[in-house]
Structure 1
Amino acid sequence: MLNFKNINVLTFILFLGLLLLSQFFNISIFFFIVLFLAWLTLTSIGSFTIGWNYHLKAFNSKKNHTKNQVAITFDDGPNAEFTPKILELLKAHHAKATFFCIGKHAEQQPELVQQITEEGHTIGNHTYTHSDFFDFYNKQNVIAEIKNTNTTISSIINKKMKLFRPPYGVTNPAITKAIKHTKHHVIGWNIRSLDTIKKDEEDIFNRITKNIKPGAVILLHDSQEITVRVLEQLLLFLQKNNYQSVTIDTLFNIEAYA
């Protein structure tokens, strides 16, 4: 299995092997550099690819799902301008979704947090600040970000969240240790829409729909107008193809709240 622990063990064994061979043969330092670069490349890709489960186990999709269900998820809200539009579309199409909220945004928009849950959607933890430097936080700082968000949102909906999605989907040893402490379910995705990067809504829509299968988890963001337009097309596509949009906890049969 390609994960952080196994790659470290394999790298260490190969390193010892090279050291042993160097006692009998003239082993160039080039081989040690190649080994290090290989370890660094795999670990970097694994850290930025949540679907690999490289550092920790995440729910990325439900493979071989027998029901025509997908989970639409939204990161970075709630947003005063766009979240209401998204909620309106979901309601019109009888679709349910999961919103991974940033704590400081939830604090500013408590009425939207309430509306999300009142309309049957699920809320997950997306850290308190969504800092650009979150990847460099130590275990205690990661725990603080998660707990502050849980406390903030719990004060609004009287529920303690058990779902967590790390910013940018990045994982590392510090986040792994923090999650072992907080005992959250880590949620990834297997369809990344790139709605925060791409500017062409047809391109985003096609990127999503060409990869849709039962059990898929779709990543969107309720923080911009283009996502609203793409969502409207996506919901029509799902309806036409007899797909049901459900919450993450429904798809994976896990608890969303403690």
Structure 2
Amino acid sequence: MKHTLNTVFFIAVFVVLIIASFYYTISWWLFPLPFVGWFIISAIGSGLVQSNYHIKTFCSNPGINTRQVAISFDDGPHPETLKVLDLLKKYNAKATFFCIGSQIEKHPEIFKKMMSEGHTFGNHTYSHSPRFGLFSTDKIVDELTGTNKLIKENSGREAAFFRPPYGVTTPSMAKAIRITGHDVIGWNIRSLDAVIKSEEKIFNRIKSRLKPGSIILLHDTSEKTVNVLEQLLVLLQQNNYEAVTIDRLLNRPAYEN
């Protein structure tokens, strides 16, 4: 992927500097620049899930010819998920839930309810650790397979979709995904509902970026997001949008069986 090309490029630049130093006077401060450039680009690429820097990521369907969008929720199941499900039913909308394994263990009945109401679910790791980006390949594989096992125990389905915590990707994660075979799902509208306190600002952030084929990121863990969701669902209806699951938006299977 792009990370490999970035690494090869900056190694080549460094080698050129070394060779040039035999023929020309090269300032010493030029030699660290390839490493600084490599680090900056790698850090930005790792933190932007849309960049496809380490892993091919599905973040939208820009070629869609219908007024469809996909609303997605991270970090559940959670007691607030029940309110989300009620709103989705009220407005005849479908969504995709990226579930944390430990949360499925806490709230299996909520997980089963989202499944029974026709929503799609995906893998969002077992722990959602803030250090997930530092995990080894083996540890990531364990997290994903463990969560898939919980999903299968509670639904009979094997999740094919995975969303990285915080949207951070790494070389270790890329290796893990090659082992597990998951499709990595990102977004092109990040609501920042976990960061922004104002419901109005969250809603306006989504509204200003809304277009057919979008994947919207929300979290089904707060009353604030529930309130924003209702505003969003009203907006979609008023503008003749259909809220569909990610598998339908992308025309890719959400489950391996």
Give the structure-2-normalised TM-score: 0.98
**2:254 is matched by which residue type in structure 1?**
A
CA apart distance, 1:55: 0.3
The 8 Å contact of residues 47 and 172 in structure 1, kept in 2 or not, is answered as yes
Q: Where does residue 111 of structure 1 map in the other structure?
A: 109
Equivalenced residue count is 256
Cα distance between partner residues in 1 of 2:86 and 2:8: 51
1:210 is paired with a residue whose SS is helix
Match of 1:238 in 2: 236
Which consecutive segments of 4 or more residues in structure 1 shift more than 6 A? Answer: none
Q: Quote the Cα distance in structure 1 between the aligned partners of 2:196 and 2:45.
A: 23
Deviation at 1:53, TM superposition (A): 0.4
State the alpha-carbon separation in 2 of the partners of residues 108 and 49 from structure 1.
Answer: 30
Shift of 1:25: 1.2
Provide the alpha-carbon RMSD of the alignment: 0.9
Q: Report the CA distance between 1:38 and its aligned residue.
A: 1.2
Contact 1:83 1:223 in 2 (8 A): yes
Aligned partner of residue 57 in structure 2, secondary structure: coil
Give, in whole Å, the separation in 2 of the partners of 1:42 and 1:49. 11
Amino acid at match of 2:96: T
Q: Is 1:192–1:220's contact at 8 Å kept on the other side of the alignment?
A: yes
- 1:27 partnered with 2:26: yes
Partner of 2:56: 57
Q: Distance in 2 between matches of 1:138 and 1:32?
A: 30
Instruction: Find the aligned partners of 1:194 and 1:32 in 2 and give their Cα distance.
Output: 39
Q: What CA deviation, in whole Å up to 9, does each residue of 1:30-89 have, x standing for no partner? A: 112222111111100100000000001000011132110001000000002x10000000
Paired residue for 1:175, among 173, 176, 196? Answer: 173
Aligned to 2:40: 41
In structure 2, runs of 5+ residues without a counterpart are: none
Identity of aligned residues (%): 48
Partner secondary structure for residue 72 of structure 2: strand
**SS of equivalent to 1:113:** helix
Deviation digits for residues 133-165 of structure 1 (CA, Å, limit 9, x no counterpart): 111100000000000100111101111100000
Is this contact kept in 2: 1:107–1:153, CA < 8 A? no
- CA–CA separation in structure 1 for the residues paired with 2:217 and 2:27: 46
